């Protein structure tokens, strides 16, 4: 039986990925900051799907915590065949005049942790000639939406590059690029979403399921929802001035 390690597993997309992977029969290593919520999630998955679930509390913005997750990924006696790097960190407000420590923490979680964890997981997967790395980017990666969009753009291009490097090794890389997903993310960050229309929202469980289906197909970029797939095509061909319009709207929302 294979093992999947999921970061950000106590809520939102991470929890949805953990649930779907458990349904597929994967044993799990759940990583997040909140031990209590991790234990609750682990108990539900063990009881509901009969899989082994390991809990690994860690704040990925803290180097010592990240190192513990790296150590788990490098443990050849307990190989991890699927890495889902779905831990999130919101950035609210303006960059100019904002709190640099907040920006650096977000960068550590959204960028550095993805880099470090993929670097730890890939060699063992290549040696075993099997494995999958899933990262969470965003449609925001294609928009000028502050440092959050910039971080997601890095994740998207990094994933494409790593997929190219690993071609033919038996290891796949898939970047999930969703739009708005119904999770706790915006509420916990204090980001207003009142202006987002109902049709724009995606269900977290459906997003995770669609992404894992794309992983099985070997797709490098997974964009859930037809409306967002159309949006991605348009964002890639529209002139930059037109792309700036939704980008400005996103920036205003993050400042509200």
Closest of 194, 183, 196 to residue 246, by C-alpha = 196
Closest of 199, 222, 18 to residue 136, by C-alpha = 222
Q: How far is CA 233 from CA 133, 134, 142, in A?
A: 24, 22, 10
For residue 73, the number of C-alpha atoms closer than 13 Å in the C-beta half-sphere is: 30
Phi and psi, residue 38, nearest 5°: -65, -45
Positive or negative, the CA dihedral 64, 77, 119, 223 is: negative
Structure tokens at 79: 């190989």
148 is catalytic: yes
Catalytic residue among 16, 53, 148, 152: 148
89 by DSSP, 3-state: which? Answer: coil
Q: How far is CA 111 from CA 40, 59, 218, 227, in A?
A: 28, 14, 23, 27
Q: How far is CA 11 from CA 41, 212, 225, 247, in A?
A: 9, 18, 21, 27
Q: Rounded distance, CA 162 to CA 160, Å? A: 6
Residues labelled as active-site residues? 148
């Amino acid at each position: 039986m294979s093992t999947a390690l999921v970061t950000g597993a106590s809520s939102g997309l991470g929890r949805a990925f953990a649930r779907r992977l458990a349904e597929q029969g994967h044993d799990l290593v759940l990583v997040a900051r909140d031990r209590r919520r991790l234990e609750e999630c682990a108990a539900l998955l063990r009881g509901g799907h009969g899989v082994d679930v390991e809990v690994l509390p860690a704040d990925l913005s803290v180097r010592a915590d990240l190192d513990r997750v790296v150590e788990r990924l490098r443990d050849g006696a307990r190989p991890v065949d699927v890495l889902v790097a779905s831990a999130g960190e919101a950035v609210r407000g303006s960059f100019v005049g904002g709190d640099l420590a907040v920006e650096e923490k977000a960068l550590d979680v959204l960028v550095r942790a993805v880099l470090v964890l993929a670097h730890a997981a890939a060699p063992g997967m290549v040696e075993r000639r099997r494995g999958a790395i899933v990262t969470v980017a965003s449609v925001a990666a294609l928009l000028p939406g502050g440092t959050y969009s910039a971080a997601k753009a890095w994740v998207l291009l990094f994933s494409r590059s790593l997929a190219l490097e690993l071609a033919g090794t038996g290891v796949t890389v898939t970047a999930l690029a969703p739009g708005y997903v119904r999770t706790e993310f915006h509420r916990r960050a204090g980001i207003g979403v009142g202006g987002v229309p109902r049709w724009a929202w995606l269900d977290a469980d459906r997003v995770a399921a669609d992404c894992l289906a794309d992983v099985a197909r070997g797709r490098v970029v997974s964009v859930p929802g037809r409306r967002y797939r159309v949006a991605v095509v348009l964002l890639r061909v529209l002139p930059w001035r037109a792309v700036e319009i939704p980008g400005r709207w996103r920036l205003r929302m993050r400042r509200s």
